[in-house]
């Protein structure tokens, strides 16, 4: 910390230097100025937190200097050291923010008390400024999450109140009809997903930005992330129906240009606003997931007549063959078993995205059953799988089914399961650390163990066991600690409502958030806010200690 002494008499500056116990107050550098004008130059260059100044000086005197400090460096703490016992000067000093008024000749006790008080006041104010800056950063980062929550509730049909939406998004006053379009990052090709493998949120953010560039320019809609289906980007449109196809064409071309990927988009029908928003969304989502993955059709998909029903093969029908191949841990044996499945699918006249996702889900259940049935295993799964997140689909650059890629994905899953069923693994696993970093970056999302397993090509059981070995806590506890640390920071802002904070840290249910918070912290979120609002603490004192990344 720096301190500036301002006095036109050199012997006074020297006396103050000698009398103050600088090190005791954390002062590392003392600088001097002999006039108010020179002091302004020093303050501009060095920003000393504390200034000790005389009142009567040639040129710009102490009053003028304090006026300048008040206007240009308001965080600076000022102590007046003057030879004039003048009530008017004292009054001027107090009005301009002076913390103390000490008379010459300087008393050692008084000057040390004044410096101690000034340095401590600056540190307290600096801590508060840092805390407020961190709150501002966190709130600005979380603000879009609140809008996503309101829009998700609208298109899910759980809330038709548009007053909060009007306030948040400044919607036009009279919206008559609306439509929805849906795109899913899980239907993108492997190249783009590999590019964003550990930055999936950035991919979604980029897609939303591209869409909003077109929607915002025309002020006819908004793009947002579906909070319950984190793979989905939703476009809600309330403009002229005739302009909607051309606008979607522009958005599709914009995505192609910016991200070099081919995005399939499901489109609903126009419905009344706001009651019909949920219907439009459901139609758009169904159109996207009912599309034929074998036909080289256009990128835009609307509701189509139901196809002729054919009997679909089930993975469970060849479960024993797949299980034995996995237990063999032999790549050739696994490849042969998966090849039999691929032959059963190859004779189908069509394969929809929904069917493909269903087979992947069936494989997940099968692998989970093998791992849960393992003798001697007592550890259960730590995260619920209620999230509707869908693992990435095996598609080519045009969004069509790629049988070779799908075959490779299933083979990798089976080999991972076989390894998890064997006892010998290296506990020092870099992939587990990647998972921890992913949780650190995505704590505000609905994260399931299934989602983590799909992203990192490992079985859920293997991740569960290895994560605890690596970090000493369950994966769910690690995630919860991150969320509570962020929540405690946000609770210091009295303007944020509790249900907003819950959504910002990944909880859609405010009551459940409160229950978890009280279980971990011993008090409710409201009680925590009341305790800290009157006596705010630096953020380092209110965040939960997390396991260190190795």
Could you give the CA distance from residue 64 to residue 70 in angstroms, rounded to a whole number?
10
* Residues paired with residue 82 on neighbouring β-strands, in sequence order: 103
Of the pLDDT bands very low, low, confident and very high (cuts 50, 70, 90), residue 234 is very high
What is the average pLDDT score of the chain?
84
- Structure confidence by residue, pLDDT tens digits, 286-307: 999 999 999 877 899 997 666 6
Q: Would you say residue 483 has pLDDT above 80?
A: yes
Residue 290 and residue 353 in contact, taking contact as beta carbons nearer than 8 Å: yes
- Nearest 5°: the CA angle 449, 451, 456 is 95
Could you give the CA distance from residue 22 to residue 523 in angstroms, rounded to a whole number?
42
Question: Could you say which DSSP state residue 265 is in?
Answer: E
Helix (H, G, I), strand (E, B) or coil at 315: helix
Q: Would you say residue 415 has pLDDT above 80?
A: yes
- Structure confidence by residue, pLDDT tens digits, 354-394: 999 999 889 988 888 887 766 554 444 433 333 344 568 89
- Structure confidence by residue, pLDDT tens digits, 73-90: 999 999 999 888 877 778
Closest among 370, 382, 367 to 464, alpha carbons compared? 382
pLDDT of residue 533: 67
Of the pLDDT bands very low, low, confident and very high (cuts 50, 70, 90), residue 211 is very high
Q: Would you say residue 138 has pLDDT above 70?
A: no
Mean pLDDT (whole number) for 395-408: 92
Could you give the CA distance from residue 454 to residue 409 in angstroms, rounded to a whole number?
10
Residue 100 and residue 107 in contact, taking contact as beta carbons nearer than 8 Å: no
Provide the CB-side half-sphere exposure for 8 (13 A, CA): 13
- Structure confidence by residue, pLDDT tens digits, 467-477: 888 888 888 88
Residue 436 and residue 471 in contact, taking contact as beta carbons nearer than 8 Å: yes
Closest among 313, 224, 208 to 263, alpha carbons compared? 208
pLDDT of residue 22: 94
Q: 78-82, 144-148, 543-547: which range is least confident on average?
A: 543-547
pLDDT of residue 159: 75
Question: What are the backbone angles phi and psi of residue 299, rounded to the nearest 5°?
Answer: -80, -20
Mean pLDDT (whole number) for 409-437: 75
Mean pLDDT (whole number) for 60-65: 90
Q: What percent of the chain has pLDDT over 70?
A: 89
pLDDT of residue 336: 93
Mean pLDDT (whole number) for 500-520: 86
pLDDT of residue 387: 39
Residue 203 and residue 196 in contact, taking contact as beta carbons nearer than 8 Å: yes
User: Which of the two residues, 417 and 111, has the higher pLDDT score?
Assistant: 111
pLDDT of residue 307: 61
Could you give the CA distance from residue 332 to residue 337 in angstroms, rounded to a whole number?
9
Closest among 534, 524, 434, 528 to 488, alpha carbons compared? 528
Q: 183-187, 271-275, 533-537: which range is least confident on average?
A: 533-537
Could you give the CA distance from residue 49 to residue 95 in angstroms, rounded to a whole number?
19
Domains of the chain (ranges, CATH numbers): 2-130 (3.40.50.2300), 172-301 (3.30.70.1230), 315-349+351-472 (no CATH), 476-541 (1.10.10.60)
Question: What are the backbone angles phi and psi of residue 18, rounded to the nearest 5°?
Answer: -75, -30
- Structure confidence by residue, pLDDT tens digits, 339-348: 999 999 999 9
**CB within 8 A of 11, min separation 6: which ones?**
none
Residue matched to tokens 């008024």 = 101
pTM: 0.54
């Amino acid at each position: 910390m720096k301190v500036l002494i301002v006095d036109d008499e050199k012997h006074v500056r020297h006396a103050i230097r000698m009398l103050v116990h600088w090190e005791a107050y954390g002062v590392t550098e003392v600088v001097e100025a002999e006039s108010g004008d020179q002091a302004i130059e020093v303050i501009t260059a060095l920003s000393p937190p504390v200034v000790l100044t005389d009142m009567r000086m040639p040129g710009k005197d102490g009053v003028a200097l304090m006026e300048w400090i008040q206007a240009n460096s308001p965080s600076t703490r000022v102590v007046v050291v003057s030879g004039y016992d003048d009530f008017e000067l004292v009054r001027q000093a107090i009005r301009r923010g002076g913390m103390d008024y000490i008379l010459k000749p300087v008393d050692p006790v008084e000057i040390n008390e004044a410096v101690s008080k000034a340095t401590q006041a600056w540190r307290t104010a600096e801590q508060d400024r840092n805390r407020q800056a961190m709150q501002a950063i966190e709130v600005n980062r979380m603000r879009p999450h609140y809008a996503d929550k309101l829009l998700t509730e609208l298109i899910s049909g759980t809330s038709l109140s548009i007053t909060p939406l009007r306030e948040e998004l400044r919607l036009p006053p009279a919206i008559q009809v609306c439509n929805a379009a849906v795109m899913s990052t899980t239907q993108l090709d492997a190249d783009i997903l590999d590019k964003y493998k550990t930055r999936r949120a950035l991919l979604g953010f980029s897609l939303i930005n591209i869409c909003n560039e077109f929607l915002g320019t025309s002020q006819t809609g908004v793009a947002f992330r579906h909070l319950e289906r984190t793979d989905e980007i939703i476009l809600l449109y309330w403009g002229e129906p005739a302009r909607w196809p051309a606008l979607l064409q522009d958005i599709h071309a914009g995505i192609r240009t910016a991200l070099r990927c081919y995005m399939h988009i499901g489109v609903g029908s126009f419905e009344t606003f706001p009651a019909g928003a949920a219907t439009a969304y459901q139609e758009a989502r169904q159109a996207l997931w009912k599309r034929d993955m074998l036909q080289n059709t256009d990128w835009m998909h609307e509701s189509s007549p139901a196809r002729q029903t054919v009997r679909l093969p089930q993975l469970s029908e060849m479960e024993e063959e797949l299980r034995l191949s996995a237990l063999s841990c032999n790549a050739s044996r696994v490849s042969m078993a998966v090849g039999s499945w691929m032959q059963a699918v190859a004779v189908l006249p069509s394969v929809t995205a929904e069917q493909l996702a269903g087979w992947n889900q069936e494989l997940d259940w099968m692998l989970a059953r093998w791992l849960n049935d393992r003798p001697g295993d007592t550890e259960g799964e730590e995260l619920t799988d209620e999230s509707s997140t869908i693992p990435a689909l095996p598609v080519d650059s045009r969004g069509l089914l790629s049988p070779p890629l799908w075959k490779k994905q299933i083979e990798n899953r089976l080999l991972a399961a076989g390894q998890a069923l064997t006892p010998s693994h290296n506990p020092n696993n870099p992939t587990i650390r990647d998972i921890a970093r992913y949780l650190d970056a995505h704590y505000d999302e609905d994260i399931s163990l299934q989602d983590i397993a799909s992203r990192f090509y490992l079985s859920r059981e293997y991740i569960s066991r290895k994560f605890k070995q690596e970090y000493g806590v369950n994966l769910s506890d690690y995630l919860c600690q991150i969320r509570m640390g962020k929540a405690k920071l946000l609770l210091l802002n009295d303007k944020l409502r509790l249900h907003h904070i819950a959504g910002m840290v990944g909880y859609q249910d405010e009551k459940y958030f409160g229950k978890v918070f009280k279980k971990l912290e011993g008090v409710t979120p409201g009680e925590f806010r009341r305790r800290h609002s009157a006596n705010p603490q630096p953020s380092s004192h209110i965040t939960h200690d997390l396991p260190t990344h190795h």
